[in-house]
Structure 1
Amino acid sequence: MRRLIPTGDAARPVAFAEVPPPVPEPGEAMIKVEAFAPNRGETFLLEHPRPGLLPGKDVAGLVVQAAADGSGPAAGTRVVGHPAQGGWAAYATVPTHSLAVLPHGVDSARAAALPLAGITALRLLRAAGSLAGARVLLTGASGGVGHYVTELAAGAGARLTAVTATPARGARLAELGAHLVHDVAAAQGPFDVVLESTGGPHLPTALAKVRPGGLLVWFGQACRAPVALDFFELLNGPERVTIQHFHYAGDPYASDLAALVHLVEGDRLHPEIGRTADWAETADTLVDLRERRIRGKAVLLTGEER
């Protein structure tokens, strides 16, 4: 079968290889991949790929071999999945605790855009607590996670300010109900909750805008620069602010995937897909995703969708 493997070349991060199909563990189903969605974090891993790296965490397709232990969906079922790796291939094995069934109304392209970004958004908002009427600041808002957070938070009654690099990258966020600014320093606080994903010098600026007793949830470092906090500067800022480190990972994923699919089917969540292309264009798409030339998610199609 065909699989995309790392090359170590920043200009062409992946290339096709012919390899044997994967062998599923007893609790894994074999999926014929119809669509997959890379994440920007995966583009960073490809800059200096570790030996044995098989990228691909967000897939949608058809179960062609059910799990041997009897768990999960039967063969012939359309699913969305979140494997640990290996999804950029004609076939992938996915643990059944990381699969959700797709209804007829949800196509593979939209489904593939859901897993990592959508699960992150759901779990991030749970960490933030009740948002009805809350003032929320979201940095790095124009990626896949940011679009889901914005739509879900606005739907929950939050008053959300979103930080994007340009007006064009924030256009859809404004349609979803966000107030846009293009520099975190321009955000008019104080905020009850700050959801911070850029790191570097942006986090201290965002932290200064939290109300006394408020919460900052730190869930990314997209600028790729470490954060420096000055204790004495904090003394002049808001009092008793909580800084919470957040990472989405932790099995099982099936229930959150099912919740996301249900929201999409009910027209209450709309994946923002900035590019859909054949998987022959994966290398170029990865470069554009890494360089922030794609708004929202990118989805690659294997040509196998039914």
Structure 2
Amino acid sequence: MLAMTPAEPATVTRADVDPPMPRPHEALVKVAAYCVNRGETFQLEQPPAGWRPGKDIAGLVVQAAADGSGPAACARVIAHPSAGGWAQYVAVPTDALAEIPDAVATTTAAALPLAGLTALRLLRTAGAVAGRRILLTGASGGVGHYVVELAAAAGAEITAVTASPERGRRLVELGAAGIVHDVDAAPGPFDLVLESTGGPALPRALARLATRGTLIWFGQASRTPVTLDFFDFFAGPESAAIRHFHYLDSDVALADDLVTLVRLVATGRLHPEIGLVTDWADTADVLVQLRDRRIRGNAVLTLEEQ
């Protein structure tokens, strides 16, 4: 069996590993495709001992869970394991996988888990968004595309911040009401700010918030610490709230939300933005492209029959 293991920052090598031994509540999945996320390029810089990357996979159940839970053998599935997804075979808890409808391609499904779960749960945390004005920073990544489409479909007026005019045009197609290339250009005030870049962008986005509005911080793409002067609240967003969000902090099971995501794709209500599909041998190069923001949306790697 082959797997991908970290070698040095933004680089991976193939290695032989022992086949996974599923626990009673786990299904053994033969991976057909996996998605590589930009955040994983950061984790590869200083990987924990024994850690193998990979959280977004799609493939075929070759051994159903012994406890009878989850999909049967031969079912096509989407899965979100905690790690180890860049491999030919992965043991996945059945509460972290869902069957893929016939209408959804395997490569499309592979792009859903991390970014899709983040977007879906972020908007659930935000509450009802119909009629609300929303500012979204870092909108050109995989999460941003999903947030824009889901929020617009729910009736929100969403302004997306993206550095690229080309990516901005795609976000308009997905339902964004407006595109700006700098937070300071956003025509606030906004009822809700969804902030994913950190650094100097967060306080500038906070200044665009309406009185009693909410800023939900869900990322640190700039990798720059945030400095806040709380006296700034009196300059505009009085009584505003700042909330941290982590996508795994949810009362809804991963499997249930994965079912929702593939259903939305199957019914044409959600369109994964896949910027690249290539063979898994290209993983190292794809990681560099993602780190340097040269791929729009998601990157999916496919595994050929061995």
From 61, 64, 68, give the equivalent of 2:62: 64
The superposition leaves residues 234-276 of structure 1 with CA deviations (integer Å, 9 ceiling, x where unpaired) of: 3223100011100001472000000000000001100000111
Distance 2:231 2:127 in 1: 29
Q: CA deviation at 1:163?
A: 0.3
- 1:117-156 equivalences under 5 Å are 117-156=115-154
> Retained in 2: the 8 A contact 1:33–1:304?
no
Where 1:194 maps in the other structure, the secondary structure is strand
- Matching of residue 23 in structure 1 with residue 21 in structure 2: yes
Where 2:36 maps in the other structure, the secondary structure is coil
TM-score (structure 2 length as normaliser): 0.97
Q: Which amino acid aligns with 1:192?
A: D
Where 1:174 maps in the other structure, the secondary structure is helix
Residue 35 of structure 1: aligned partner: 33
Q: Which ranges in structure 1 are unaligned for 5 or more consecutive residues? A: none
Where 1:52 maps in the other structure, the secondary structure is coil
Q: Which ranges in structure 2 are unaligned for 5 or more consecutive residues? A: none
Residue 3 of structure 2: aligned partner: 3
Distance 1:76 1:132 in 2: 40
> Retained in 2: the 8 A contact 1:195–1:219?
yes
Percentage of identical aligned residues: 64
Residue 77 of structure 1: aligned partner: 75
Where 1:283 maps in the other structure, the secondary structure is helix
- Matching of residue 191 in structure 1 with residue 175 in structure 2: no
Q: Closer, same or farther in 2 for the Cα pair 1:304/1:184, shift >3 Å?
A: farther
Distance 1:101 1:129 in 2: 28
The superposition leaves residues 151-189 of structure 1 with CA deviations (integer Å, 9 ceiling, x where unpaired) of: 000000111100001112222101112111000110000
> Retained in 2: the 8 A contact 1:81–1:100?
yes
Residue 248 of structure 1: aligned partner: 247
Distance 2:7 2:131 in 1: 48
Number of matched pairs: 303
- Matching of residue 267 in structure 1 with residue 265 in structure 2: no
- Spell out structure 1 runs of 4+ moving beyond 3 A: none
Distance 1:159 1:250 in 2: 26
- Matching of residue 95 in structure 1 with residue 93 in structure 2: yes
- Matching of residue 238 in structure 1 with residue 237 in structure 2: yes
The superposition leaves residues 111-135 of structure 1 with CA deviations (integer Å, 9 ceiling, x where unpaired) of: 0000011011011001111111110
> Retained in 1: the 8 A contact 2:141–2:296?
yes
Residue 14 of structure 1: aligned partner: 12
Q: CA deviation at 1:293?
A: 0.7
Residue 104 of structure 1: aligned partner: 102
RMSD across aligned positions (CA) = 1.2
> Retained in 2: the 8 A contact 1:35–1:300?
yes
Where 2:47 maps in the other structure, the secondary structure is coil
Residue 221 of structure 1: aligned partner: 220
Q: CA deviation at 1:9?
A: 4.0
Distance 1:289 1:101 in 2: 28
Q: Closer, same or farther in 2 for the Cα pair 1:181/1:304, shift >3 Å?
A: farther
The superposition leaves residues 66-111 of structure 1 with CA deviations (integer Å, 9 ceiling, x where unpaired) of: 1111111111000000000010001111110001101111111010
Residue 288 of structure 1: aligned partner: 289
Q: Which amino acid aligns with 1:294?
A: I
> Retained in 1: the 8 A contact 2:233–2:239?
no
Q: Closer, same or farther in 2 for the Cα pair 1:304/1:237, shift >3 Å?
A: farther
Q: CA deviation at 1:304?
A: 4.5
